[in-house]
Chains A and B, each alone.
Chain A
Amino acid sequence: MTPVIDICRLDELPPGATRIVEYEDYEIGVFNCNGELLAIEDRCSHDDGTLAEGEVDQAACTVECPRHGALWDLRTGKPLTLPAYVPVETFPVLVEDGLIKLEVD
């Protein structure tokens, strides 16, 4: 039974917004991409720093690492440009009773 954690209410994460949560060893970024809810590790594998401050492109569903510009695909957790090349983990997002939840491994 995969553990599920609560993030916040659906209305607290409007399109374009991001929320960072901590779970065990991970920091996870939850994004609202034009209505689509996605969650990837809040970590650019290039330097293991945070993606939180990065610019989100809602049309392409990507976030750009603020430090060296690596572009991340929010759906797959894969880097689309260098200098990052190792993918990060993604997490399934659920909405139950107006609450956003994450399945964590």
Chain B
Amino acid sequence: MTTSTEPVFLSARRAAALLEAAELALPVFKGEVGWEFTPLKGFDLAAFAPAPGGADDAAPHALDLDAADSVRVSSDEPVSEGPVVMPLALAAERHPDIVERYLGTVVTARTRFTVENDARWTDGTFVYVPRGVHVEAPIVLTNVHDEAGSALHHRALIVLEEGAQAEVWHQSLSSDLEAEGVVNGVTELVIGQNARLRFVDLQALSERTWVFGAQRAIVERDGSLDWITLGFGSANGKVFLETKLAGPGAHAAVTGAYATRGRQHLDFDTLQEHAAPDTTSDLAFRGILDGRSSTVWRGMIQVDEGAQRTDAFQESRNLLLTKKAHADSIPGLEILANDVRCTHAAAIAQIDKEQLFYLRSHGLPEADAHRLVVEGFLEALVGRFEAGAVRAAVAGAIERRLQLVLGS
């Protein structure tokens, strides 16, 4: 787990986390706040041996990237003033100062999952974009869960210094789509003053694997974050997605899509925290539920005292395709500043009969019309992006997932 060349600060961190993990219980009781809809009864983390680290290679069902010259993780140092993109373990050795400065400063919650990750992470990536550097080509990070029955702890640390710009694609995949296991990830995003980050995160793990995630971003003054999360795989688990608008003028857009089937259970817990005035956020989650699947979305908009002229929006929409599907939606607002505009909306509905009628009156058979309406529901999210590689890739990923869920 720890290499002999691992810097001291990292080893010390791991050792402390191991001790801490021993004191923390898993949230197994249904009544535990935050875990009411995702009881972990019968889940034994210890039953999954920690996965060994692996190479970051592409695996099946990766995001289709048409863009040429994408930047991939390598062990080479950048030639010029380019971004540093390398395995986290390596970065800790080569750039200990930077890693130590940022590691663990964004995801600070100490839960059993984040602490286990702190102690045991093997695969990890580090992306560092220096001041003022604009990276044109997308940076691609891939995590592969390779060993059935293992618990893979992976960690991503992405830092954009002042004025930097980058686009990062992150995918979590399973080499065996039937394999059982656990994937426990921690992702930390730092967007410096005036920096811009677009972060596309695809989770397409085996539908028999548990997924746990703690992902948080801090956006500084006038910074901008465009975060897209696609939750298509996994059997069960819970992912936290938090953004903190820490400086005036900061902005974050979060777009989420999921399409569940069978007995999948997905639980998303999002937070838009406005800690400075004149900040904006916009969160839109959409999902379709098939089979006996269930999803939970809990979303909180928190406006701290003094965060005047905040403009925050949050929307969650679910489309239930069967009688046994079940969706829980818990939007929330905690507002301590008065000169704000905060809106949230949650809706759960059946297929829009008018849309269906329109399509059928144009000659489409019922099944096709039905399919088109469902696709349209999710693809509406795609409209949030301008034409380009991101939009195409996200649309493609959604389309492929829908084909899987609805049948071709």
Contacts and interface: CB of A to CB of B under 8 A. Distances in A.
A touching B, CB within 8 angstroms: yes
Interface in A25-66: 47-49
A83 to B, nearest CB: 15
Nearest to B39: A48
B400 interface: no
Contacts of A48: 30
Instruction: Say whether chain B's binding surface is mostly helix, strand, loop, or mixed.
Output: loop
A49 B41 CA distance: 12
Nearest to B36: A47
Interface residues of A, number: 3
Contacts of B30: 47-49
B245 to A, nearest CB: 36
Instruction: Say whether chain A's binding surface is mostly helix, strand, loop, or mixed.
Output: loop
A47 B30 CA distance: 9
A99 to B, nearest CB: 29
A47 B31 CA distance: 9
Interface in B30-45: 30
B68 to A, nearest CB: 51
A48 B30 CA distance: 9
A48 B29 CA distance: 12
B41 to A, nearest CB: 11
Contacts of A49: 30
B42 to A, nearest CB: 11
Interface in B1-40: 30
A63 B298 CA distance: 34
A49 B31 CA distance: 10
Interface string A12-28: 00000000000000000
Interface in A45-95: 47-49
B360 to A, nearest CB: 36
Interface string B312-349: 00000000000000000000000000000000000000
A4 to B, nearest CB: 25
B39 to A, nearest CB: 9
Contacts of A47: 30
Interface string B60-103: 00000000000000000000000000000000000000000000
A102 B107 CA distance: 50
Interface of A: 47-49
What 3 A-B pairs are tightest by C-beta distance, nearest first?
A48-B30, A49-B30, A47-B30
3 contacts: A47-B30, A48-B30, A49-B30
